[in-house]
Amino acid sequence: MATAPDATNILEVAHPIADTAQSVTVACPYCGTANALKAADWQVNESGHFVISDVATFGTTCPSCNNTFAFRPLSQADRLPQLPEGLRTALHVVSQKGMTGNKSWVLRDLATDQAYELTPSTIAGWQIPVGDLSSPGIIVTMQPECVTLELRTGQLYRTAPPPSGLRAASRGKRA
């Protein structure tokens, strides 16, 4: 029999939205799949839009991986702009929070001094080339593929996901 997940183990996706947003697309923090959420699916308020407050979260289950996560709407007025798709510039990490593969990053464009936020939700739906970093970078997400951002250029790359376990090296010859 399935049991409800422990609320302390549910990952949360905080995402800026318009104050009267009736729907939003957020990336699942477990598998990276874009999830379309509609305020009408929850008993929200008479206006039918997501409530933005310090305590409001909306639980959902990703149809791709069947994991439960929480969506926390944030006011766009209080948030930094999201890193724009296609921006190619040198970036500096100002801060980060969360766990590897599901962090929220604050990055500063060294050319313009503009600060941006970068989360796995930011890059949902972007066309990201396969490649490897040639200079220091950060991991944006690890599921379903590892996506990294090269800080020197602002280029995103995707690779195969990291291994779920390591095999011991075999010693000697097998019979």
What pLDDT digit, counting tens, does each position of 137-159 carry? 999 988 778 899 999 999 999 98
CA pair distance 50, 13, nearest whole angstrom: 14
pLDDT of amino acid 4:
47
Q: What is the band of 91 on the pLDDT scale with cuts at 50, 70, 90?
A: very high
More confident residue, 169 or 128: 128
Does 95 lie in the same domain as 129?
yes
Q: Where would I find the beta strands (DSSP E) of 18-164?
A: 23-27, 34-38, 58-61, 68-75, 91-99, 102-109, 115-118, 137-141, 146-150, 156-159
Domain count, the chain: 2
Does 146 lie in the same domain as 101?
yes
Mean pLDDT in the chain? 82
Does 51 lie in the same domain as 28?
yes
What is this structure's pTM? Answer: 0.54
pLDDT of amino acid 137:
92
Domain that holds residue 31: 10-77
Among 29, 45, 77, residue at a domain's last position: 77
Among 50, 77, 104, residue at a domain's last position: 77
Residue 164 lies in a domain: no
Q: What is the band of 51 on the pLDDT scale with cuts at 50, 70, 90?
A: confident
Does 100 lie in the same domain as 51?
no
